[in-house]
Structure 1
Amino acid sequence: MSPERRTTLTRLVGDYLDHLVVERGLSTHTVAAYRRDLERYRDFVGRRGVEDPRAIDTALVNAYAVSLREGVPADGAPDVDEPSDANEPSDADAVAAAPRWRHPPLAEASTARALVAVRNLHRFAAEEGVVEENVAAAVRPPRAARRLPKALGVDQVQRLLDAPGQDDPLALRDRALLELLYGTGGRISEIVALDVDELSGLLTHPDAVDGLRVLGKGSKERIVPLGRYAKRAVTDYLVRARPGLAARGSGSPALLLNARGGRLSRQSAWSVLQARADQAGLGVAISPHTLRHSFATHLLDGGADVRVVQELLGHASVTTTQIYTLVTVDHLREVYLTAHPRAR
């Protein structure tokens, strides 16, 4: 394959995609993903007046890597801030948001994938003799700024937990869901995966059920304490709501059931949380993980040891848990500045 054919980046991308299909035998889906990523790269480079692959240097590829995380505003669009919390929208959400983006910011995993496509393209160009070296070989995805988890205040959590009421089966189910999420710090996937047999003992020996066995990431089991508020909410649900919901289905073993008697899905649980947050008038964006963040932050605020919180959350490393200590330090600083007469 002669260098003379490599006159434009467009042609290089086309030949590389052909290589992926013919020589690498990659699936249509994978090649389509590469095509999307490389079209974004080609657009970025082309808007800087570069057409010849030999004119691309490491600095340009680094600038592209930064643009993946920051996004490329549409022509004439006002400046916008990058999403700033753990509830960062997905790439699809960003695309649908508005025409303010020529290319929306990508999440960390998508940024890494897009940059791998570019590095592979330049490696292909070097191997084919189109360029002398792979200028993208040393480029790595930019590290995302560490985002402190957003925790609700205790009063906000109380309003959320009180929102469902106890007037119908779905309200009782929602209350049980929310109490389990906040009372155990469990991930939403862990809570909706619970089966009724794991908590049916509450009906006969409530004092004997002190903990909840959950299956976390990597199929690692852990036991988390079950407080009296969560016990009461689950018991009310088991007695007054679940039998009626179960009668609508085909005998699902799930603890938390949907309106048709099947297992409540993660997506449906997320919708429940959003609806109840709106009902409570919280006025902030929350996700199931918000209650997990709140669980950890409130424990640390109350004096819990970080390694105890690590075990309760099921974190493999205490480093992951220590991010919550930063939240509590910020909280302590705010209290100090507000309350101490010599703080200001």
Structure 2
Amino acid sequence: MHVAHPARVFYLESMSCKAIAALFLLVTLPAVAQKKDPDVHVDVRPDVKTGIESTTQYPTIQMAMDHAPDAGTGRVYVHIYPGVYHERVIVTQNRPRMTWIGMGSTPSDVVITNSLNARTAGGTFFTETVEINGPEFEASNLTIENTAGNTGQAVAAAVRSDKAIFKHVRFLGHQDTLFADYGRQYYTACYIAGGVDFIFGNATAVFDHSELHALAPGFLTAQSRIKPTETTGYVIANSRVTTDLDPNAGSPHNTFGLGRPWRPYSRVVFLNTELPAGLDPAGWNNWSKTSNESTAYYAEFHSTGPGANPSARVPWSYQLTAAEARPFAPLNFLRGPDHWNPEREATNIP
């Protein structure tokens, strides 16, 4: 039998004791929370005459996005004062945790507007009035619009932000109003108006206690989930759909649909939502491709109002039980591995 040298035994035992002591300290000492950097507050006022030399006041929203101080792990609060801001605003990926707060009494007091359309801008994805790429973006009490009207694709807002929250925000357009494209997104008490595919993209998005307003015959949604394994989709919950359309007047097609699949595995679910008489009783459309009927997932739970007509829906859509609807409840659908709770966070947004 090999006998260890006494000095070596003593050294190993000493190291073992130190390791045990260190482990004991790690287990018994309370965890120290990482300190968040201070938040930054800046103002946007249409009457401000200063340029980029000011670090607290800016005349345009884009200037604030470009030059506001970095908040580190904190949040940048952008207080936008009443006015009409004719600009195209881009929030880049390296600008996380931006919060836009409209300082008027209603969302219509702060309007961010442009009128680009696909023909004049060179394509749909160059038309956004506002493009949001930075994560954890928030906005409240303002309006984002594209006033191009019925001229083709014209996006008001493109949102590619994970853990984004919109509260009391109006999105106004006609075709392709809101490009909810990437990340988890929560819209609460919002108003979204359009005519054709006016909420589209492949985000994991919930529209809660909101109003979707159909201006013309078309579809509310064109969700674009590509694979069945993706967790993306749209949930419209506890909301109401309204319309200017009268199904009894004019063309027999003077109605709109709930959605059609921009990509084969499109997924849209309506929960506890009021539907108007202007809704096409069939509800959903396969976008002239029958193979989409076996891949798209379109469902409703407890729809109400004159447009709620389960027996008339296309046979490849679903009417859910309470148990089947549960995974699509807002918090369940958006939670993710980090247990994000947008309902709680939204209460902290002014």
Give the TM-score normalised by structure 2. Answer: 0.22
Task: Give the structure, 1 or 2, with the largest relative contact order (CA under 8 Å, sep 6 or more).
Answer: 1
Greater share of residues in helix: 1
Give the TM-score normalised by structure 1. Answer: 0.22
